[in-house]
Structure 1
Amino acid sequence: MRRYELSDFEWSIIHPRLPNKVRGVARVDDRKVLNGILWRFRTGSPWADVPERYGPYTTCYNRFVRWRKAGVWDRLLAAVSKAFDGEIIMIDSSCVRVHQHAATAKKGADDGCMGRSRGGLTTKIHALVDAEGRPIDLVLTAGQAHDGKPAAAMLDALQPDAILLADRAYDSDAIRTLVAERKAWANIPPKKNRTGSFPFSAWIYRQRNLVERYFNKLKHFRGIATRYDRDPQNFLAAIKLASVRIWLKSYESAS
Structure 2
Amino acid sequence: MMARYEITDDQWALLKDLFPRQARGGKWLNHRTVLNGMLWILRSGAPWRDLPERYGKFGTVNQRFNRWRRDGTFDKILKALQIRLDKAGKIDWDLWLVDGTNIRAGRAAAGARKKKHPLDTLEPDDHHLGRSRGGWGSKLHLVTDGKGLILGATLTAGQTHESTQLHNLIHSVRRPRRIGWPDQLAGDKGYSYESTREFLKDCGIEPVIPRKSNQKRPIGERFDKKTYRKRSRIEQAVGWLKECRRLATRYEKLGLSFLGFVKLGIMLKYLRILGPLDRA
| TM exceeding 0.5 | yes
Does the 8 A contact of 1:81 with 1:135 survive in 2? no
The verdict on how the C-alpha distance between 1:175 and 1:253 changes in structure 2, with shifts beyond 3 A counting, is farther
> What TM-score, normalized to structure 2?
0.85
SS at match of 1:145: coil
Residue identity opposite 1:173 in structure 2: E
Given the alignment of the two structures, is residue 124 of structure 1 paired with residue 139 of structure 2, yes or no? Answer: yes
Aligned partner of 2:197 in structure 1 is: 176
**Aligned structure 1 segments of 4 or more residues deviating by more than 4 angstroms:** none
Aligned partner of 1:202 in structure 2 is: 225
Match of 1:147 among 162, 187, 196: 162
Does the 8 A contact of 2:93 with 2:182 survive in 1? no
Deviation at 1:10, TM superposition (A): 1.7
Equivalent runs, 1:38-53 vs 2, <5 Å: 38-53=39-54
Equivalent runs, 1:98-247 vs 2, <5 Å: 98-105=105-112, 110-156=125-171, 157=173, 159-160=180-181, 162-197=183-218, 198-247=221-270
SS at match of 1:2: coil
Alpha-carbon distance in structure 2 between the residues aligned to 1:131 and 1:253 = 23
SS at match of 1:149: helix
Given the alignment of the two structures, is residue 12 of structure 1 paired with residue 6 of structure 2, yes or no? Answer: no
Alpha-carbon distance in structure 2 between the residues aligned to 1:41 and 1:29 = 19
Q: Which runs of 5+ in 1 are unaligned?
A: none
Deviation at 1:9, TM superposition (A): 2.1
Aligned partner of 1:94 in structure 2 is: 101
Let me know the Cα RMSD of the aligned residues: 2.0
The verdict on how the C-alpha distance between 1:104 and 1:161 changes in structure 2, with shifts beyond 3 A counting, is closer
Does the 8 A contact of 2:11 with 2:276 survive in 1? no
Number of aligned residues? 255
Q: Which runs of 5+ in 2 are unaligned?
A: 115-123
SS at match of 1:94: strand
Alpha-carbon distance in structure 2 between the residues aligned to 1:253 and 1:93 = 31
Aligned partner of 1:22 in structure 2 is: 23
The verdict on how the C-alpha distance between 1:254 and 1:166 changes in structure 2, with shifts beyond 3 A counting, is farther
The alignment-based identity, stated in percent, is 34
Alpha-carbon distance in structure 2 between the residues aligned to 1:122 and 1:53 = 33
Output one character per residue of 1:101-127: Cα deviation in whole Å (capped at 9) or x when no partner. 1122479x8211111112321211000
SS at match of 2:162: coil
Deviation at 1:201, TM superposition (A): 1.4
Output one character per residue of 1:196-228: Cα deviation in whole Å (capped at 9) or x when no partner. 433211121111011011111101111110000
Aligned partner of 2:33 in structure 1 is: 32
SS at match of 1:239: helix
The verdict on how the C-alpha distance between 1:29 and 1:160 changes in structure 2, with shifts beyond 3 A counting, is closer
Residue identity opposite 2:271 in structure 1: L
Alpha-carbon distance in structure 2 between the residues aligned to 1:102 and 1:208 = 31
> What TM-score, normalized to structure 1?
0.93
Deviation at 1:21, TM superposition (A): 4.3
